[in-house]
Amino acid sequence: MSMTSSLMGVASWLDDRMNPIVVKELRQSIQSRFVVSVLILLLIVLMTTLFLYVINTETIGQVTGNHGAYLFQIFQGMLVTTCLLFVPAYVGGRLAVERASTTSDLLFISTLRPSSIVWGKLLAGMVVTVLIFSACAPFMVVTYLLRGIDPPTIVFVIGLDLLIVLAATQVAILVGAVPMSMIFKTLLSLIVGVMALWILGAVIVSMVWQMNTMGIGSRMGEWDFWVPILSFVICWLGGVGLLFFLTVAMISPPPSNKAFPLRLYMTGAWVVSLGVFLFLEYSSSGGSDSLRVWAVFASVVLLMSLIVSVSERDVLGPRLLRSIPRNPLLRVPAFFLFSGAASGLCWSILMLALTLGIAWVSSAWDVYGTSFSGNEFEMLAAIGVVGLYLLAYVLTAVLLRRWIFRHAAAVASTSAIALFLVAMGCIVPMIVVYAINPMNWDMHGDWWLALNPFSVIYELNSGHWTSLQTRNLFIASIWSVVMILLNFRWLSGQIGSFRPLVEDTPGNDPSTAAAAPPAPTSAGASTDG
Amino acid sequence: MHIHVDNLYKSFGKTQAVNDLSFSFESGQIFAFVGPNGSGKTTTMRIMATLDTPDQGRCRFDGLNIIHYPEKARQLIGYMPDNLPTHRDLSVHDYLDFFARAYGLRGRRRKGMIDQIEDFTNLKGIRDKMLKALSKGMKQRVSLARALIHDPPLLLMDEPAAGLDPRARVELRELLRALADQGKAILISSHILTELAEMADGAVIIERGKLLRAGTLDQIYNHGREDQEPYQHVAIRTRDDNDRLHRALLEMPSVKQARLAGNHVEAEVVGDEDAACELIAELLDKGFRVIEFKQVQADLEQLFMDVTKGDVQ
């Protein structure tokens, strides 16, 4: 009796600590005809395929046959396609409906933390995925009996599939959380969905093909086998984590320190991944590309962060000011991690410089004798030039927004202005040159690439550092410096105002002490995230 | 709890949805939030429910600025929007259970609270029904139950009586009165002004996002008459001829105005409630056989028509 009551107590304790979103989503999934219909349909298709294959294949019973591997690929394709089409659409679609302003779903005025909401949605999606995988497991086992595939391969491929569906589900949650109308959200979902299916499909096909041809079972004892696998898994999970925190920031209340968890995660992920990739680089016997993979992956993420960060608030609200540490030693790192356009810019530049610097130093010292060659130095320099260009573009966007579009463009639109400028910088000179002399582009030299941030990357194909790369480095440097000077007051103002608010308590907000006089609403300054 | 909305502004593009709106009310009061369609009621309620942020201004619950601390404010707010629950694949009980969990209620407390709320809102009999199978009135009840699940001290209700049949309206009114008696502050927007007048302690009247009147019903009715003597509005029915009664009332010095209104006569008596008592005595002295004498609440509907112009933006 006491055993039963103890078990009941444990069950009740667990029940209380379960994420409410997971409980709700799973209850809805069980009640949903859509989920049940998809599952039953998939099982019918798998069963029919197996039946047709067996009765139409004469050599099915032969010892030398490869029918198991072939059938496994068919089943796995069906399973992953179903999960990729169904689970992200189901989870992301629900969140989109709940987020829509027209329905004002009350999920977002409960006391659930944004991270709990996103985690609950992701977890619920993965539970549904595991449910579908479990239902299909007997069919996968049958493929082993038909020969041509070993259990480790089955486990690896299934694990890979789960990672793929996990990423697709998180992407769908991110799209569902984007603050835009349902029409644009549907359009965005279609674009992202097609791209994701294309990219993830290519990843699955190539990985599964490699696993089948490598013969996983025989190579599991080799460290060189695990290096690329672990590199892939770490990058993949790191990317999913990034999307997770991006979604959390998106649904956090505007006055909150939205960027803090995201930047903290990115900094942590940067440190951990650096350690792991250095270890992989060191432990790989024949040398590997781990550190180069890390440098490129981290640089791409940081360059995107550079663009996005200028859309953050440039005036800190009282709530954020209150959370600034009073200890000056803590205030410096806090500045880099907290919400704010200047903070985001400084953090992105610092992290990019560190990434390129570490890659450069490790290569120059040739610590492990396996790192970068001369071409890789040029690659790092090219990434640096791209960074300078993007810095110049985002600061130009800030300047335009502050000076010209003061009342027409909100702070949140600065990144869009920057991207528009980048596109114009790439396209307009090309059109001008073509209009002047369509028959002879060379007569203008390559000046039409002077505003193109990515031209230095194309030039890497030449095998040496070209005059175009030197010229573009010079242009990007001068342009960046000029823009920093022109935006100096904007930047220094934010740095100077990064001081803790000390004279009040949460219940007695200083901004509530006196009514603010009605003033025309300006889009030029924002305290919103 | 004191709720203060101060100098609230909110625009959508060129449309100024809320324009310098200020009002306040407190626990135990039911405040009617009235205005023509498109006047900014829902926008204001969404800001108060922390679903939107204003361009400018403050909203404080007992000094807590909800614009800056929406997470803290959410524990204090029960919001009932004008649309109905969207979780179609959940039963009534599971829906309430989800929100109870979302508000951090655990174990027996959660079960007890759900039971209590289902009892209070009369949902016990339909707790296992799916939300998609419910009538509009039932969904309104579920919505109210959801708003009450964490026992918030403030209820924000956007058109809760819309689409309800007469019985459901009466029941809703009784529920709201009971909640106000428990000490909850209630802000309720509705177009059914006669019903609001019966249960509201005060009102906020807005048009084109701007405040027209705010305060207790007495304050609103006496708006602009602060320097004048107080008066009582009474309705009198007798077994005698109404014309004779009308004439007699007009001859009395304490009666400011009198008019025939169907089978009774309405009069404005200058002075406080004692003046009304003296009027009855005087009528009885004059031989009128009074069968009904009652104070008439000023007409919120008429007031609304007087102060608003029906403009929308």
Ordered by start, the domain boundaries in chain A are 17-220, 248-500+514-529
Test B107 with A12 for CB contact under 8 angstroms.
yes
Q: Per-residue pLDDT for A147 more than 80?
A: no
Q: Per-residue pLDDT for B201 more than 80?
A: yes
Phi-psi region of A313 (alpha: psi -120 to 50; beta: other; left: phi over 0): beta
Angle CA A183–A189–A194, to nearest 5: 135
pLDDT range class, residue B141, cuts 50, 70, 90: confident
Tokens of B263: 């089978």
For residues A389 and A382, give the distance between their C-alpha atoms in angstroms, rounded to a whole number: 11
CB contact B28 to A (< 8 Å) = no
- The per-residue pLDDT for A366 is 60
Q: What are phi and psi of A139, to 5 degrees?
A: -70, -35
Q: Mind telling me how many Å the CA of B178 is from chain A's nearest CA?
A: 24
Place of tokens 């990219």: A199
Q: Per-residue pLDDT for A39 more than 70?
A: yes
Q: Considering only the beta carbons, identify the residue of A104, A106, A515 that sits closest to B7.
A: A515
Short-list A312, A332, A306, A233, CA closest to A273: A233
Pure H helices in B162-287: 166-181, 193-199, 217-221, 242-251, 273-285
Name A70's Cβ contacts closer than 8 Å, sequence gap at least 6: A148
Q: Give the mean pLDDT of chain B.
A: 85
Test B70 with A253 for CB contact under 8 angstroms.
yes
For residues A20 and B95, give the distance between their C-alpha atoms in angstroms, rounded to a whole number: 11
For residues A479 and A471, give the distance between their C-alpha atoms in angstroms, rounded to a whole number: 12
Q: Mind telling me how many Å the CA of B275 is from chain A's nearest CA?
A: 43
Name B210's Cβ contacts closer than 8 Å, sequence gap at least 6: B19, B20, B21
What are the chain A neighbours of B77 within 8 Å (beta carbons)?
A: 109
CA distances from A397 to A42, A490, B174 (A): 50, 13, 58
Q: Where are the beta strands (DSSP E) in A446-485?
A: none
Whether the Cβ atoms of residue A336 and residue A343 lie closer than 8 Å to each other: yes
For residues B49 and B36, give the distance between their C-alpha atoms in angstroms, rounded to a whole number: 21
What are the chain A neighbours of B89 within 8 Å (beta carbons)?
A: 27-28, 31-32
Whether the Cβ atoms of residue A465 and residue A383 lie closer than 8 Å to each other: no
Work out the number of other CB atoms within 10 angstroms of the CB of residue B70. 22
CB contact B210 to A (< 8 Å) = no
Report pLDDT digits (tens) over A165-220.
999 999 999 988 887 777 887 888 888 888 877 887 777 777 777 766 666 767 77
Which residues on chain A place their C-beta less than 8 Å from a C-beta of chain B? 12, 16, 18, 20-21, 23-24, 27-28, 31-32, 97-98, 101-113, 253-256, 317-319, 506-509, 511-512, 515-516, 518-519, 521, 528
- The per-residue pLDDT for B87 is 72
Report pLDDT digits (tens) over B3-52.
999 999 998 877 889 999 999 999 999 999 988 888 889 899 988 988 88
Report pLDDT digits (tens) over A484-517.
999 999 999 999 989 887 654 444 444 443 333 3
Work out the number of other CB atoms within 10 angstroms of the CB of residue A322. 18
Q: What are phi and psi of A520, to 5 degrees?
A: -60, 135
Highest mean pLDDT among A441-445, A463-467, B37-41: B37-41
Short-list A143, A152, A156, CA closest to A217: A152
Tokens of A3: 């055993």
Angle CA A13–A18–A21, to nearest 5: 150
Work out the number of other CB atoms within 10 angstroms of the CB of residue A293. 19
Question: Lowest-pLDDT range, A23-27, A281-285, B37-41, B295-299?
Answer: A281-285
Burial class (CB in 10 A: 0-12, 13-18, 19+), A497: middle
- The per-residue pLDDT for A506 is 46
For residues A321 and A336, give the distance between their C-alpha atoms in angstroms, rounded to a whole number: 14
DSSP B174: H
Pure H helices in A215-289: 216-219, 223-251, 259-283
| pLDDT (average), residues A19-31 | 87
- The per-residue pLDDT for A113 is 86
Q: What is the pTM of this model?
A: 0.78
Question: Lowest-pLDDT range, A51-55, A279-283, A487-491, B122-126?
Answer: A279-283
Test A31 with B98 for CB contact under 8 angstroms.
no
